[in-house]
Amino acid sequence: SDCEDRLSEFVDYQKILNFYGYQRFGSKRPVTHLIGKALLRRDFKKAVELIVSFTSRYDSKENTEIREKLVDKSNYKKYLNQVPPQMDIERIVLQEMIDHDDAQKAIHAVPLNLRRFYVQAYQSYLFNQTLSAAFTDGEDLFAAQTGDVCYDLHGILGKFIKGLDQ
């Protein structure tokens, strides 16, 4: 196939595509990028649901069981005390939802650096998808193209112009 041809060419040159790693998305529960997407869409209800009830086959049985109970918003108060201490963000969000029933307020209770991380995780996801598509489509990802923004030989940032790279 076309992709296999590109892959063999890729292997011949021993080049490495620089993807963001799985730890950016969550190793046991790959959800950070989904939360970021919900935040960018200002869908705070979805973001709350993802934080408290998104499950993954890589997460522990205990965590999955409690998350499955938290799919139903009416269970928040009932199960808050069963949420383990290491699920601190979930506990913060649940307490806010119990106290105010306001998803936006609950998300704003999450530390700002973590909210930013969620958005950055979504940006990383989009980058990985774009890099994959460019590779599959046969783009030359290992040399500057005319119009690319990059540093020149003197460390000055600008648009790349073929012929002026010497």
Q: For position 143, what pLDDT does the model report?
A: 81
Rg over alpha carbons for the chain, rounded to the nearest Å, is 22
Topology classification of domain 24-137: Hypothetical Protein Yqey; Chain: A; domain1 (1.10.1510)
> What residue type is assigned to position 139 of the chain?
E
Q: Which two tokens stand for residue 33?
A: 């990028």
Predicted pLDDT of residue 156: 80
CB 59 within 8 A of CB 158: no
Residue 118's pLDDT is 98
In this model, does residue 8 exceed pLDDT 90?
Answer: no
Instruction: Note the pLDDT tens digit of each residue in 39-65.
Output: 999 999 999 999 999 999 999 999 999
Per-residue confidence band for 89, with pLDDT thresholds at 50, 70 and 90: very high
pLDDT tens figures, 134-157: 999 988 888 888 788 888 778 888
Ordered by start, the domain boundaries in the chain are 24-137
Which pLDDT tens digit goes with each residue over 115-137?
Answer: 999 999 999 999 999 999 999 99
% of the chain at pLDDT higher than 70: 89
Q: Over the stretch 61-84, which tens digit does the pLDDT of each residue have? A: 999 999 999 999 999 999 999 999
Half-sphere exposure of 80 (CA within 13 A, CB side): 15
Query: Does pTM top 0.85 for this prediction?
Result: no
CA angle 50, 59, 56 (to 5 degrees): 50
